Amino acid sequence: MPQKYYAMDMPFYSSLGVYPFEERCEIVKEVGFDAMHLSVWDGRNWASTAPLAHVGERYGLEVAGVYVVLDLTLGERDPRNSGILTMIETMPEGSTIELAIRSAGPQLTRSDPAGDAPVCAWLRQALAIAQARGSRILLYTHIGFWLDKHDDALRLCEQMAHPNLGMLFTSGNWYMGGGDQLAALLRRALPYIRQVNLAGARRSPLGFMGIATIEPLDVGELDNFAVVALLKRLGYEGYIGYTGWEEGGDAYHKLERSLRMLRDIERRVARHPHWGSHLG
């Protein structure tokens, strides 16, 4: 099966504003990606998912997922959280919800397992809706959030053991979180990894959160070829996406460069599957 690629919509954000939804879809399609993506940020924006129902017929694109952030310090009834449940219920059946978790409750620090109980309680509500809709919730690791590391997402997936719950692997967040023991992580997490997104990155105090840059895939110190080669050796076959957060500039050009790099990585992995074997 040919590899499918998606573009997160984050490259469309810059200091000049955000491209309209229709233009984002048109650009992603013209550049050549297979699927688009939508960030709604929090539950107050749940209604902004309505146009997703027509993306296929209007633009010839699949919808890879919708990114949203849960913040339990605000309380479950806060519309930023309660609106996420409404969003899951009203999105097209079979949708993918990418869930980042900013906090699990007051005074709980990053990765604190004490947050597992309230997060799992909220997830049970969300997963009941997702299961009825044939949708899935994928835990999105985000540096600096309570769900800070891929190990945190894996721990929740193992505890919940729910068929509609999975996780993403995000190379940029893995790199910012230390960037070590990738093979061991992916071997343990692969049963739950449903999507992957990649970022070019280099460690820099001028980067995201003063840790690392987020760049197009043809630049940076992070070797995404070796990451993809390892994923393929382990048997991963799902979407691969491009992140693009905080890059700014000409979105079309950066999307084009990154898709060209993704296709070149695919070509090299197919021809030389043993390359990158130093990762495991």
Query: What's the pLDDT at 280?
Result: 80
pLDDT at res. 31: 98
Tens of pLDDT along 206-232?
A: 999 999 999 999 999 999 999 999 999
CA distance 220 to 23: 28
Geometric angle at alpha carbon 86, from 140 and 72, rounded to 5°? 50
- For residue 267, the model assigns a pLDDT of 98
d(CA 232, CA 79): 40
Q: Calculate mean pLDDT across residues 160-177.
A: 97
According to the model, what pLDDT value does residue 51 have? 98
How does 158-174 read in b/e, with b if 16+ C-beta sit within 10 Å?
A: eebebebbbbbbbbbbb
Q: What is the pLDDT of residue 4?
A: 98
Residue 246 confidence (pLDDT): 83
Residue 22 falls within a domain, yes or no? yes
Q: Counting Cβ atoms within 10 Å, is residue 48 exposed (0-12), middle (13-18) or buried (19+)? A: middle
Give the model's pLDDT for residue 247.
86
Which residue segment(s) compose the domain that 51 sits in? 5-196
Residues 29-53 have pLDDT tens digits of 999 999 999 999 999 999 999 999 9
Is residue 16 within 8 Å of 249, Cβ to Cβ? no
pLDDT at 248: 86
Given a cut of 80, is residue 1 above it in pLDDT?
A: no
Q: Indicate whether 216 belongs to any domain.
A: no
pLDDT in tens, 99-142: 999 999 999 999 999 999 999 999 999 999 999 999 999 999 99
**Tokens matching residue 60:** 């010839």
Would you state the pLDDT for residue 44? 98
Instruction: Residue 102: count other Cβ atoms within 10 Å of its Cβ.
Output: 17
What average pLDDT does range 194-208 have in this prediction? Answer: 95
In a domain, 184, yes or no: yes
Mean pLDDT of all residues in 176-203? 96
Q: Classify residue 135: in a domain, yes or no.
A: yes
- Which pLDDT belongs to residue 237? 96
Does some domain include residue 234?
no
Number of domains in the chain: 1
Q: What is the pLDDT of residue 167?
A: 98
What is the per-residue pLDDT across 48-104, written as a single tens digit (0 to 9) for each?
999 999 999 999 999 999 999 999 999 999 999 999 999 999 999 999 999 999 999
CATH of the domain at 127: 3.20.20.150
Does residue 219 sit within a domain? no
Q: What is the mean pLDDT of the chain?
A: 97
Confidence band, pLDDT 50/70/90 cuts, at residue 264: very high
280 lies in some domain: no
Can you tell me the mean pLDDT for 21-35?
A: 98
Distance CA 75, CA 85 (A): 14
